[in-house]
A and B are shown apart, each in its own frame.
Chain A
Amino acid sequence: MRNHFAFSLASIAAACSLSLPAAAQAQSGTAKKVPAAKTAAKPWTPPRTPDGKPDLQGVWNSATLTPLQRPANGPGAGKEFFTPEEAAQFTKQELARVNGDKLDGVGNYNEFWRDRGQLAPDLRTSMIFDPPDGRIPPLTPQAQKRIAEKRAAARGHDFDGPENRSVEERCISHRNAGPPMIPTNYNSNYQIVQSAGVVTLLSEEIHDVRIIPTDGRKHAPASVRMVNGDSIGHWEGNTLVVETTNFTDLTSYENTTPNLVLIERFTRTGPNSLMYEWTVSDPETFTKPWSARYPMFKPEGVHGDDVIFEYACHEGNYGLLDSLSGARAGEKAAAGKGGPPPAARAPREN
């Protein structure tokens, strides 16, 4: 996924414990037998915690092939749901497109390390369901200007120092951990532990714990900013609703600003499934709010065990060290020859 190899034995073990054929069988089985548009029919009553709240606890996995945005062309384009045939075609194309085994050189992981998941059982063509076209709404003019200026300022400075690299490469945060928690295809595991007045959500990636108070308290003062934002929650029926604010400029999600107001909704939909939904409101960036959802599943029987491993990313971050020292070595070599330094290549996101 990136050239820093977070060399944690724990993450290796986590990856090693993936049983890929079993995962493929279990998940493709689910996808085929659940007919689209009929899944919402029967409500399911979740178990309760001792204090009477819906019990969301357990280990959950977010790996999915469902794209954030509806495909612009090819199978699924212009449709809310894939037909089973289109789903099979999309899955095949997508797995071929991202296949890390076909890439050469450094900067990518082999498929062995990946947890690709598969399409959501209802065969939606995108996680985004609002707006109904399944696409992120247009950026505001000020956001377009801001993003263009940022890109222009960054051009040619990709490896000047650690701040020029992504928060993922720097082991500060990760899309998996969010919030919002965007599925990737690597370490997409979470554990929820609840107690009276609090829900905690541990993301395996970067070992981030979100502590979500549900005791009616207000957000921290606006001057207290956090990379993962400040989350407070409340229950609406069987749904945990979480509002997160107080972000920083390190946690730009799809170009959002620190003033992003994020609403997340967690709803158990069955013994082994949980629907995760989020709404992005950031008027400085998007012309209107937008919402998306995907299902998470309990990994039991897929990964063979339901434990979260330690992801000590920063502690083993040789990748960032080597990227910077490589860039310096390239500059030195080029200066010796009197030519420009070789173009440093950004890590691949496959």
Chain B
Amino acid sequence: MKNVLRNPVIAGAIGACFFLATTPARSQGPAYKAPRTTDGKPVLNGIWQAMSTANWDLQPHSATAGMLWQAGAAGAEPAGMGVVEGSEIPYLPAALAKKSANFANRLALDPETKCYLPGIPRAVYMPFPFQIVQSAKQIMISYEYAGAVQLIYIDRTKLSPVDSWMGWSNGHWEGDTLVVDVTGFNEDSWFDRAGDFHSNKLHVVERFTPRSPDTLMFEATVEDPLTFSRPWKINMPLYRHVEKDARLLEFKCVPFSEELLYGSLRKKPANNQK
């Protein structure tokens, strides 16, 4: 794959196919030309956030009660049109059964409740802002949730040295689009609160394309032959935080998860943990 892509003709042809395949979605209105860095790349700097219910469920879904009846309507799940192209995530049969089991036990199993690192692409559409800091050699994406970080290497392509929650990100530019190839995942993160999951064979290709001064189009192709019958794609806009004092704050959630994780081991457990 890597060697093939190094061939400029083949890479160009693949790029062209990709462009043609994705053009219809973007053909409304004239193409937006983003401001440039000194080395001629689009500037993606800023604080961004998705405005969708994707973190609840990537697929189309109705409003429904939340995980804890005690939270009442405040914890309920809002409806959403879904962000998956073609609506359905193409699970292999055994994987679909596991997804259902995940959903049934989501309070205990969703890594989000435990303040675990979110993985990619979930970090992008969690209901928290993230900041892109762009230099020529590396692009750092700092996610407010759990202080997660994605360091994207532009200056070199490296194979992932080890598996990790956030994976290993190699980036390159295709026209105005930042393409991030992410591999080296462990099998522990989820895609959403609906139990959508993956194996450690996950391969994600993210595409960030400036759409207007204050919006980016985000697209992610998800491939995992142990879990899905074919690659599938999500896409959604990302919105810039335009408030004058917008900034990434701290959401170090470990203390918020400690009662859940360790409460039963206290010398004097709280009533609900006895």
Contacts and interface: CB of A to CB of B under 8 A. Distances in A.
A50 interface: yes
A312 B38 CA distance: 35
Contacts of B163: 9
A77 interface: no
Residue of A9, A162, A173 with most partner-chain B CB within 10 A: A162
Chain A interface extent, by class: 35 or more
A196 B267 contact: no
B254 A314 contact: yes
B117 A315 contact: yes
B182 to A, nearest CB: 12
B148 A211 contact: no
Interface string B235-274: 0000000000101111010110110011101111000000
A160 interface: yes
A324 interface: yes
A249 to B, nearest CB: 12
A324 B262 contact: yes
Contacts of A328: 265, 267
B20 interface: no
Which secondary structure dominates where chain B touches chain A? loop
B165 A312 contact: yes
A307 B161 contact: yes
Given A160-B268, A195-B45, A315-B116, A217 B258 contact: no
A331 B268 CA distance: 12
A109 interface: no
Contacts of B134: 195
Given A13-B162, A172-B254, A321 B262 contact: yes
B250 A206 contact: no
Nearest to A164: B267
Residue of A209, A327, A328 with most partner-chain B CB within 10 A: A209
B77 to A, nearest CB: 25
A1 interface: no
A321 B262 CA distance: 7
Given A13-B162, A193-B138, A228-B250, A211 B147 contact: no
A12 B249 CA distance: 30
Interface stretch (A18-26, A68-76, A219-227, A261-269): A219-227
Nearest to B152: A193
Nearest to A226: B250
B37 interface: yes
A268 to B, nearest CB: 16
Interface in A92-151: none
Nearest to A206: B147
A198 interface: yes
B38 A50 contact: yes
Contacts of A9: 162-164, 186
Nearest to B134: A195
Given A10-B164, A226-B250, A312-B165, A209 B262 contact: no
Nearest to B156: A307
Nearest to B148: A207
Contact of B254 (A171, A307, A321, A331): A171
A284 interface: no
Nearest to A224: B249
Nearest to B267: A160
A170 B164 contact: no
Interface string B43-71: 00100000000000000000000000000
Contacts of B247: 211, 213, 217, 220
B258 A315 contact: no
A6 interface: no
Contacts of B161: 10, 13, 307, 309
A161 B116 CA distance: 20
Contact of A209 (B114, B136, B147, B186): B147
A159 interface: yes
B10 to A, nearest CB: 29
Nearest to A198: B133
Nearest to A191: B151
21 contacts: A8-B164, A9-B163, A10-B161, A13-B162, A50-B38, A50-B39, A57-B137, A161-B263, A161-B267, A170-B255, A173-B252, A195-B45, A195-B133, A198-B133, A207-B148, A211-B131, A211-B247, A226-B249, A227-B250, A308-B151, A315-B117
Interface of B: 37-39, 45, 111, 114-117, 131, 133-140, 142, 147-149, 151, 158, 161-166, 186, 188, 245, 247-250, 252, 254-255, 257-258, 261-263, 265-268
Which 5 residue pairs spanning A and B have beta carbons closest together? A324-B265, A50-B38, A226-B250, A310-B164, A161-B266
